[in-house]
């Protein structure tokens, strides 16, 4: 009989609204179907949350002493492998440096999952990631581009690194035509963007691009799906969203841009994606290592128009979409117009994207993580 492996994830977790929390929950729930694993969550908090039974321990993000206390708790526990979901902003201290206290003290092996690999880090960011990579047993990154940066810039041992794509949930939903009919959107060309809203998403450029497209294709409809990021909302209120709404009014796009201002459950989100003709990410920064939203869109075979951040360049290679220039609404608009005007080419791109998307289901992804956990537990 196969020995049970006890794995715990150090991460944000729902009900905290955060892309990494959602990622961890999706992976965790898929892994729970594997009878050879016993899994639990160690949740990092920026406020008090009421968790379900998945969470076996929690600690405050900004309390430095709690990181060493947590390491001592893990050392005394039956946990065999820790998985650290890493993003600089979810741990305490400058650039999340308190996490190093945990990594220094914990005696159990850990797998490091990297959600951001910066090609131009500050000295502090570079030092933190180098230390974590050095102390880790294995490293998971979600893109080949990130693997190259880790080796060339951070001096990471390539033997430690595995590339596993961002997972995508699988739901059986009706066809695009049927979904449009249900929403009374027959005959409309749907472009969508989803995720927690903040100024780095470049949505103002997406809206201006739609203004250009609407001159030629007045049936265009841009769906901006999701609410303001809770951290941004706490700091700035709804100023960014309100500026976007004002831009829509100023450009006279009330019939061409629609906001769905709430946190969407996964199945509802997938329905919107499946209904979309084009998915757009007009992000402002080159350094975005991973985009869960773009991964979802690829998973459902949507043609993607994006600015050329690192993850998009990789995901859209081999004719799986179109890249536009950063901070350039005209460039985004040209790409959208091209796809509408060339339906046969668009259909080919959809097919290529769908072929990639089939490899990204959470089941495939969880199976690959399981192999890593088994190997780390065996070696330790």
Six token digits for residue 376: 């780390």
C-beta separation of 156 from 133 below 8 A: yes
162 and 181 assigned to the same domain: no
107 and 203 assigned to the same domain: no
290 and 369 assigned to the same domain: no
The chain-wide mean pLDDT, for the chain, equals 94
| Burial (0-12, 13-18, 19+ Cβ within 10 Å), 241 | buried
Residue 1 has pLDDT above 50, yes or no: no
132 and 186 assigned to the same domain: no
186 and 133 assigned to the same domain: no
Residue 331 belongs to what domain range? 176-360
114 and 212 assigned to the same domain: no
CA distances from 166 to 111, 114, 142, 170 (A): 16, 11, 6, 13
pLDDT tens digits, residue range 295-308? 999 999 999 999 99
* Weakest mean pLDDT among 165-174, 284-293, 341-350: 284-293
Interval 277-290 mean pLDDT:
86
pLDDT tens digits, residue range 166-223? 999 988 999 999 999 999 999 999 999 998 898 889 999 999 999 999 999 999 999 9
**Cβ within 8 Å of residue 115, ≥6 positions away:** 19, 20, 23, 85, 86, 87, 142, 289, 290
236 and 290 assigned to the same domain: yes
Nearest partner of 177 among 189, 191, 169, 194, judged by Cα: 189
161 and 184 assigned to the same domain: no
C-beta separation of 8 from 109 below 8 A: no
20 and 140 assigned to the same domain: yes
Nearest partner of 19 among 213, 224, 227, judged by Cα: 227
CA distance 281 to 308: 9
Interval 258-277 mean pLDDT:
92
CB atoms within 10 A of CB 271: 18
| Burial (0-12, 13-18, 19+ Cβ within 10 Å), 146 | buried
CA distance 88 to 95: 5
320: CATH: 3.40.50.2000
183 and 327 assigned to the same domain: yes
> Strand 55-60 relative to strand 321-323: parallel, antiparallel, unpaired?
unpaired
pLDDT tens digits, residue range 70-123? 999 999 999 999 999 999 999 999 999 999 999 999 999 999 999 999 999 999
CA distance 198 to 121: 21
| N-to-C CA span, the chain | 20
216 and 126 assigned to the same domain: no
Overall domain count for the chain: 2
332 and 284 assigned to the same domain: yes
User: If residue 101 lies in a helix (H) or strand (E), which one and from where to where?
Assistant: helix 99-105
CA distance 361 to 296: 10
């Amino acid at each position: 009989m196969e020995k049970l492996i006890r794995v715990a994830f150090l991460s944000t977790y729902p009900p905290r609204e955060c892309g990494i929390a959602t990622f961890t929950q999706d992976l965790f729930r898929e892994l729970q179907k594997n009878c050879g694993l016993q899994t639990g969550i160690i949740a990092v908090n920026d406020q008090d949350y009421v968790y379900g039974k998945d969470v076996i321990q929690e600690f405050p993000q900004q309390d430095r002493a709690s990181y060493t206390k947590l390491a001592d708790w893990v050392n005394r526990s039956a946990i065999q492998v820790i998985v650290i979901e890493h993003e600089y902003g979810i741990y305490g201290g400058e650039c999340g440096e308190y996490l190093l206290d945990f990594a220094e003290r914990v005696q159990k092996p850990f797998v490091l999952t990297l959600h951001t690999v910066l090609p131009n880090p500050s000295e502090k960011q570079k030092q933190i990631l180098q230390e974590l990579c050095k102390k880790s047993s294995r490293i998971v990154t979600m893109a080949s581009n990130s693997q190259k940066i880790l080796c060339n810039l951070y001096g990471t041992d390539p033997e430690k690194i595995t590339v596993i794509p961002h997972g995508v949930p699988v739901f059986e939903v009706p066809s695009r035509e049927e979904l449009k009919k249900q929403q009374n959107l027959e005959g409309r060309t749907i472009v969508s963007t989803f995720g927690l809203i903040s100024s780095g998403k470049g949505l103002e450029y997406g809206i201006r691009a739609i203004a250009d497209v609407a001159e030629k294709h007045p049936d265009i409809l841009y769906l901006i799906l999701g609410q303001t990021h809770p951290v941004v909302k706490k700091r700035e209120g709804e100023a960014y969203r309100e500026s976007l709404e004002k831009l829509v009014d100023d450009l006279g796009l009330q019939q061409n841009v629609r906001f769905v201002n709430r946190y969407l459950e996964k199945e509802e989100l997938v329905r919107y994606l499946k209904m979309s003709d084009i998915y757009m990410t007009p992000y402002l920064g080159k350094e975005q290592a991973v985009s869960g939203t773009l991964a979802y869109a690829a998973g459902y075979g949507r043609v993607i128009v994006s600015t050329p951040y690192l993850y998009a360049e990789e995901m859209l290679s081999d004719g799986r979409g179109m890249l536009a220039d950063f901070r350039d609404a005209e460039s985004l608009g040209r790409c959208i117009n091209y796809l509408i005007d060339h339906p046969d080419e668009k259909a080919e791109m959809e097919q290529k994207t769908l072929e990639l998307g089939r490899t990204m289901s959470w089941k495939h992804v969880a199976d690959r993580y399981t192999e890593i956990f088994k190997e780390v537990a065996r070696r330790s």
